[in-house]
């Protein structure tokens, strides 16, 4: 698969290493090949979307990149650190919003952020100023000292995002950040993500929402059965879905949903060959 390269415009002959560089990342759970030789990169200031049906391997990919799960094979480098041999360094580089973040309901946003800031060895002064910045950016200033158990889902998600970013990491993983949120809450989180991009963060965003992927992502990787079946800008994906004959013939009108169904559907009959062999023998 062709790898889109955003560095091609650089005048230096030497291309810097991408902030996130994933190489043949693979995870097997017993008979399930959850992630199958996934390879991609993400540059500074880029938002890369992971789009795929339930069970495609998005969360497993993000958990491996966040060093919460050991790959079966393959690896990735984040800000130059290897996820398998330098997990401690990697954890300092990344902020991870899991798909189901838990919050201590009895604590306030300020207390939660202080606790996580301390885990990252931040000074009290740094925690305080970063807390002020994040709560303001996320519109939570007025609720800084209320217990989160009284918060709406959207407010809790904003606190989870603030907690994820307390240490101001250069790399951010967001696993379905707006799932179950109303339009206004989702919009506020979208705006925040755009500000993170503008600040030069490298962001991987897993989502089921086509509109979200289209609005936020510079490039989108479509994953199915653990494999990247297509990766590129919206226009590159449209062209790939349209096929060579239709290129430059209005394929820019095709929606991401149509592109997704076409490209993800291609791989529908792919099975884990080892599992298939086992079933065959049984
Ligand atoms: N801890 C685990 N043990 C066994 N199998 C797992 C485990 N975690 C994930 N899987 C399997 O790996 C595959 C990929 O799951 P994953 O959660 O990564 O998918 P996903 O793309 O995030 O799906 P969704 O869109 O539903 O969140 C699935 O078949 C899932 O059942
Ligand atoms: Mg998931």
Distance 52 CA to ligand 2 centre (A): 9
Dist CA 130 CA 163 (whole Å): 10
pLDDT at 13: 53
Using most ligand atoms within 8 A of CB, pick from 51, 58, 205 the residue to mutate for ligand 1: 58
Mean pLDDT of the chain: 87
pLDDT at 3 over 60: no
C-alpha of residue 259 to centroid of ligand 2, in Å: 21
Q: Considering the entire predicted model, what is its pTM?
A: 0.88
Whether the CB of 232 sits within 6 Å of ligand 1: no
pLDDT band at 265 (very low <50, low <70, confident <90, very high): confident
Q: CB neighbours (10 Å) of residue 234? A: 19
Q: Say what the pLDDT of residue 6 is.
A: 35
When pLDDT is averaged across residues 231-252 and rounded to a whole number, the result is 75
Residue 23: C-alpha distances to residues 37, 167, 263 (Å) = 7, 27, 22
Write the residue with the smallest CA distance to atom 9 of ligand 1.
Answer: 60
Please give the distance, rounded to the nearest whole angstrom, from the Cα atom of residue 204 to the centre of ligand 1: 17
Q: Would the CB of 52 count as within 6 Å of ligand 1?
A: yes
The mean per-residue pLDDT over the stretch 135-156 comes to 94
pLDDT in tens, 146-193: 999 999 999 999 999 999 999 999 999 999 999 989 999 999 999 999
What span, in angstroms and rounded, lies between the C-alpha atoms of 263 and 221?
11
Q: pLDDT tier at 264 (50, 70, 90 boundaries)?
A: confident
**Quick one: pLDDT band at residue 246, thresholds 50, 70, 90?**
low
Predicted local distance difference test score (pLDDT) of residue 250: 52
| Pocket flag, ligand 1, residue 224 (CB < 6 Å) | no
pLDDT of residue 221: 96
Task: State the virtual CA torsion across 248, 251, 252, 254 in degrees, nearest 10.
Answer: 180
The percentage of residues in the chain with a pLDDT greater than 90, rounded to a whole number, is 74
Q: Whose CA is nearest to atom 30 of ligand 1?
A: 55
Tens of pLDDT, residue by residue over 117-128, are 999 999 999 999
Computed from CA positions of residues 183, 189, 193, 194, in that sequence, does the dihedral angle turn out positive or negative? Answer: positive
Asked whether the predicted pLDDT for residue 242 surpasses 90, the reply is no
Residue with CA closest to ligand 1 atom 3? 29
**List of long-range contacts for 176-183, beta carbons under 8 Å, 24+ apart:** 176/99, 176/206, 176/207, 176/208, 177/97, 177/205, 177/207, 178/207, 178/209, 178/212, 179/99, 179/208, 180/153, 181/153, 181/154, 181/157, 182/154
Q: What is the CATH number of domain 15-281?
A: 3.40.50.300
60 lines ligand 1 (CB under 6 A): yes
Residue 177 sits at φ, ψ, to 5 deg, of -65, -20
Give pLDDT, residue 107.
96
Which residue's alpha carbon is at the smallest distance from atom 25 of ligand 1? 54
Range of weakest confidence among 1-15, 90-104, 224-238: 1-15
pLDDT at position 256 is: 86
Atom index in ligand 1 nearest the CA of residue 176 equals 27
Domain boundaries, the chain: 15-281
Atom of ligand 1 nearest to the CA of 50: 21
Q: How far apart are CA 206 and CA 48, in angstroms?
A: 9
User: How far is residue 6's CA from residue 75's CA, in Å, rounded to a whole number?
Assistant: 22
Q: Which atom of ligand 1 is nearest to the CA of 30?
A: 4
Q: Which atom of ligand 1 is nearest to the CA of 226?
A: 14
pLDDT tens by residue, 50-99: 999 999 999 999 999 999 999 999 999 999 999 999 999 999 999 999 98
Q: CA of 158: how far to CAs of 22, 97, 177, in Å?
A: 28, 10, 9
CA torsion through residues 69, 70, 71, 77, sign: positive
* pLDDT of residue 227 exceeding 60: yes
């Amino acid at each position: 698969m062709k790898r889109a390269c955003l560095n091609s415009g650089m005048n230096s002959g030497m291309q810097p290493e991408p902030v996130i560089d994933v190489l043949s990342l693979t995870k097997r759970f017993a008979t399930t090949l959850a992630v199958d030789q996934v390879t991609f990169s993400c540059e500074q200031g880029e938002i890369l979307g992971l789009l795929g049906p339930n069970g495609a391997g998005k969360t497993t990919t993000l958990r491996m990149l966040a060093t919460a799960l050991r790959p079966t094979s393959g690896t990735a480098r984040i800000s130059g650190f290897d996820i398998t041999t330098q997990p401690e360094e990697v954890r300092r580089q990344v902020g991870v919003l899991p798909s189901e973040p838990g919050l201590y309901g009895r604590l306030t946003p300020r207390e939660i952020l202080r606790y996580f800031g301390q885990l990252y060895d931040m000074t009290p002064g740094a925690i305080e100023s970063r807390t002020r910045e994040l709560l303001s950016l996320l519109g939570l200033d007025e609720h800084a000292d209320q217990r989160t158990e009284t918060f709406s889902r959207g407010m809790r998600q904003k606190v989870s995002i603030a907690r994820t970013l307390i240490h101001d990491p250069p790399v951010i993983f967001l696993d379905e950040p707006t799932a179950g949120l109303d339009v206004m809450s989702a919009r506020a989180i979208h705006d925040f993500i755009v500000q993170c991009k503008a600040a030069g963060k490298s962001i991987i965003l897993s989502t089921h929402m086509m509109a979200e992927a289209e609005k936020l992502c510079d490039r989108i990787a479509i994953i199915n059965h653990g494999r990247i079946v297509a990766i590129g800008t919206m226009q590159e994906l449209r062209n790939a879905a349209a096929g060579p004959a239709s290129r430059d013939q209005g394929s820019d009108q095709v929606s991401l949903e149509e592109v997704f169904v076409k490209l993800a559907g291609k791989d529908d009959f792919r099975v884990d060959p080892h599992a298939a062999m086992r079933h065959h023998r049984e």
